[in-house]
Amino acid sequence: MAQQAEEASWWHRATDNLGNIASTGKPDLYLSGYAYHGRSTYTQEKLDGFNETTWGGGFGKSIRNAKGNDESLYMMLISDSHRDPQLMAGYAYQWMWRLGQTGIEAGAGVTVALTSRVDYFGGFPFPVVLPVASLGTEKVKLLFSYVPRLSDNKGNGDVLLLLLRIGME
């Protein structure tokens, strides 16, 4: 019984936190523009066919929590590596560090999202957990996320995605 109460408590804290971000978070604009595919993971023929200008965008909300870390909810639509639409919706948490008195900060953390791509599961949404990092100010950040190589076989993963997040307030 105690374990069930603890699990329910964890679930309620998580959903309350997401609700807080959605209702009180500051609005953000997301712009996508570049995906770097690892040159040692793909054949030159594959690389030549890839779209590395992953134009797209989205919206989200973010808060600076009581510990000074960044939490975000977001939804984006971008052009994937094959020029097909890729929809992503998720949550990101980053531990933040100020870089001196410059107003510049760095962050590192994780994002948990649902994504939909036509080349995986016929476009049916599937979950992803990826690392995320950032560099910028509290209002404007360059975000980095990395899809690791998914197997020893060449041709899967090893993609660095760059995004810009702009606070709208």
- CATH classification of the domain holding 143: 2.40.160.20
Query: Domain total for the chain?
Result: 1
H or E element that contains 47? helix 44-49
In the prediction, which pLDDT does 33 show?
86
In the prediction, which pLDDT does 4 show?
60
In the prediction, which pLDDT does 115 show?
95
In the prediction, which pLDDT does 154 show?
65
Among all residues, which ones are annotated catalytic?
Answer: 37, 80-81
**124-127 contacts at long range (C-beta below 8 A, 24 or more positions apart):** 125/87
∠ Cα 123 158 130 (to 5°): 65
H or E element that contains 9? helix 2-24
Q: Please say whether the dihedral angle defined by the alpha carbons of residues 100, 106, 109 and 112, taken in this order, is positive or negative.
A: positive
Residue range(s) defining the domain that contains residue 126: 2-167
Residue 129 Cα distances to 25, 68, 163, angstroms = 22, 22, 17
- What is the mean pLDDT, run by run of 10 residues, along the chain of 169 residues? 66 88 96 92 89 95 96 96 94 96 96 93 93 97 92 77 96
